[in-house]
Amino acid sequence: MTLAYLDAFSGISGDMTLGALVHLGVPIQTLRDIAAALRLGDVDVTAATQERNGIRCIKVSVVDREHDRRQGQRSFTDICALLDGASLPGAVRARARGLSGARRGRGPRARIGTGGGALS
């Protein structure tokens, strides 16, 4: 088993997390397969190397072509429905629910963004 420890003392965005995973060797196709398993609809998952303020990173973008960004955010209930309908093993779905920072009444964010973030 390989373990990665993220010291995200001030938070970490979904695109940063996915970019770090791709940088460590997770194939971008794996992320596309996960998006397909979640049945997110017509999404495009891309990765590109960027440099900002002298720091090079990989930015992963997940763009939902069917969802207008101005429609707002996905609630915890919405995310649970996506997980429940996903063609993923039950243990994976349960763990994803447990790891979600969107748990109702817990964590700094009660909602997860729908634009440009991880599998949004």
Q: Average of pLDDT values for 5-33?
A: 88
Q: Which residue has the higher pLDDT, 85 or 120?
A: 85
Report pTM: 0.65
Six token digits for residue 110: 């009660």
pLDDT in tens, 27-63: 999 999 988 888 877 889 999 999 988 988 899 998 8
The burial class, CB within 10 Å (0-12 / 13-18 / 19+), for 7 is: exposed
